[in-house]
Chain A
């Protein structure tokens, strides 16, 4: 890569920079300064911008809480579902949010195993995003049950009905295990990563805050013996999370693929869904990071290079998604199945054609703009594109679910679907929940991994220009 000159555009000129590699932290910083940079925003009073964003998020959350309460009291009849379209807004939102979460695990686990050192300054918040997105996702199947107080029925526990066990052959049950495992492992991975930083905050605080962070940091002292073991654990968790994240969206796609509905019953769903999940998740990471780096003053830690790298991943995964759209159409024709062919022609020209073409424009056409370096390195352009892609990926799930269901085998059972106010408000509420949690996270916890950034501080810098070993410590120490 001959991109090391880019440090010149808009960044501080750097001393003793390697001619082969770009530093990961674009401003010369001491170790203590890194701690100050990251812990600083936690100690300052929130800005009015944060307050305004938080107010909006909490308002949306309250709208959602109100409508979900009403829905639980009145029943699923308050939704626009009918005998033909039995899954719509809620499952669309469920798949959308699970997908968002996948980018966080990709950044924290897969890029870690591939030794992508640039991940260090974005992995913490991307993992937090994963957790919050999975929480949002979990809400939807729960309320779709209609009687969420019986949600524990999905777990195989000894009961007085036999015991009547759950049906382990059902993909919906696989989902229960996939999502709960995903949430648990992501939470453990995230918290393990947080512990050293919580100790750093503890050692800089006084009074109640010190006690609180002392409790949360498990008595971490930075002992090298513990660090050594910690590295092994971190690598193991990354190794476990990697196949896990692929399995989760695979299983989500099997909710559809194992059915007989035309448009759902296809074998390309698992890779197609995983690519789509990473695609939409990276768009969401970009949305959040572009705002966070600006508001929190993290521009030298979350650099243009980070944004550009994520844009490149978006081009790749967007390409896979586009290829999947094409393949579906090809197979619909090539399979010779009249129902399959009808479903796809209906998707592109039927009553939901507007949704289909929104999806294609947002997911296939708009990411092509990222081939231009000027756009890849422009935070404003990336921000707009990331929103466009999120809209597109939301519509992808809507198109897959609703257009396949509304006209299946029997024309006598054809129907249509429109969301009700309750469904729209529930979706807004899930965005409220997501942003409320994320905004709280960036205020109360170190949003960037302090220890990991310190370890890559000397990356691509000559001796004396930075601290730490030239190669990041964590990756190789665990070998």
Chain B
């Protein structure tokens, strides 16, 4: 199946075109934009990212492991009397627990984002011309002439039919 690539000069035009294309029943493959365009998620019908849950789970895991490890080293593995303080000095273990909670949450969230978006160092990108500079590109899963007309009416400066859409994220 063929795809249409429509190039816009203004972000608003792209958002409007995406909204109309979806209303008209065309599936939107992706869009390529130089910055996070306000309202594009809704216009494309993207679901909210579940990354927040990954972050939450990582934070819980990191915090639990950090506190458990401190308790294990200080109470069980080699209890040392330091200034008469209790072996299980839970309050004193909180700063390190907090730091490791944040560290785990941040690293796991970032790692999950890169894995899910299939971004990694050295990945060969096939960038859409000027999409990282000043052009807004919408890719629609159709080559119907009506869709092309819709794009032109929405303000596309260039509409091309392509066999394989430029590879983007997933």
In the complex, what residue of chain A is closest to B96 when comparing beta carbons? A177
In the complex, what residue of chain A is closest to B112 when comparing beta carbons? A233
Cα separation A178 to B100 with both chains bound (whole Å): 9
Among B51, B78, B82, B121, point to the contact of A229 (Cβ < 8 A): B51
* Complex interface: chain B residues within 8 A of A363 (CB): none
Contact of A225 with B170 in the complex, beta carbons under 8 Å: yes
Contact of B132 with A469 in the complex, beta carbons under 8 Å: no
In the complex, what residue of chain B is closest to A195 when comparing beta carbons? B119
Judged by a CB distance under 8 angstroms, whether B126 is at the interface is yes
In the complex, what residue of chain A is closest to B42 when comparing beta carbons? A477
Cα separation A165 to B39 with both chains bound (whole Å): 52
Judged by a CB distance under 8 angstroms, whether A232 is at the interface is yes
Q: How many residues of A contact B (CB 8 A)?
A: 74
Judged by a CB distance under 8 angstroms, whether B98 is at the interface is yes
Contact of B113 with A229 in the complex, beta carbons under 8 Å: yes
Judged by a CB distance under 8 angstroms, whether A75 is at the interface is no
Contact of B51 with A169 in the complex, beta carbons under 8 Å: no
Judged by a CB distance under 8 angstroms, whether A428 is at the interface is no
Cα separation A202 to B129 with both chains bound (whole Å): 12
Cα separation A223 to B12 with both chains bound (whole Å): 17
* Complex interface: chain A residues within 8 A of B85 (CB): 169
Cα separation A3 to B122 with both chains bound (whole Å): 47
Cα separation A237 to B116 with both chains bound (whole Å): 17
In the complex, what residue of chain B is closest to A250 when comparing beta carbons? B95
Whether A473 contacts B167 in the complex (CB less than 8 A), given A185-B106, A225-B46, comes out as no
Whether A233 contacts B100 in the complex (CB less than 8 A), given A167-B80, A215-B122, A224-B46, comes out as no
Whether A455 contacts B35 in the complex (CB less than 8 A), given A165-B74, A219-B120, comes out as yes
- A249-269: which residues lie under 8 A (CB-CB) from chain B? 251, 254
Q: Mark B90-111, 1 if CB is under 8 A from A, else 0.
A: 0011011011101101110110
> Which of A35, A163, A188, A225: most chain B Cβ within 10 A?
A225
Contact of B103 with A477 in the complex, beta carbons under 8 Å: no
Stretch at the interface among B26-34, B143-151, B153-161: B26-34
What distance in Å separates the Cβ of B74 from its nearest Cβ neighbour in chain A?
Answer: 6
Q: How many residues of B contact A (CB 8 A)?
A: 73
Q: Mark A144-180, 1 if CB is under 8 A from B, else 0.
A: 0000000000001000001111111101011001100
Contact of B131 with A221 in the complex, beta carbons under 8 Å: yes
Cα separation A217 to B169 with both chains bound (whole Å): 13
In the complex, what residue of chain A is closest to B67 when comparing beta carbons? A168
Judged by a CB distance under 8 angstroms, whether A228 is at the interface is yes
Whether A214 contacts B109 in the complex (CB less than 8 A), given A181-B102, A474-B36, comes out as no
Interface residue ranges, B against A (CB under 8 Å): 10-12, 15, 30-41, 44, 46, 48-49, 51-52, 55, 69-70, 73-74, 77-78, 80, 82, 85, 89, 92-93, 95-96, 98-100, 102-103, 105-107, 109-110, 113-114, 116-134, 166-170
Interface residue ranges, A against B (CB under 8 Å): 30-32, 35, 156, 162-169, 171, 173-174, 177-178, 181, 184-185, 188-189, 192, 195-196, 199-200, 202-204, 214-233, 236-237, 240-241, 243-244, 247, 251, 254, 450-452, 454-455, 467-469, 471-474, 476-477
13 A-B contacts, Cβ less than 8 Å apart? A165-B74, A189-B106, A196-B35, A219-B118, A221-B32, A227-B35, A229-B117, A236-B55, A467-B10, A468-B11, A468-B35, A473-B38, A477-B39
Q: State the 7 A-B residue pairs at the shortest beta-carbon distance, nearest first.
A: A219-B123, A223-B168, A226-B169, A31-B134, A473-B38, A223-B169, A224-B31
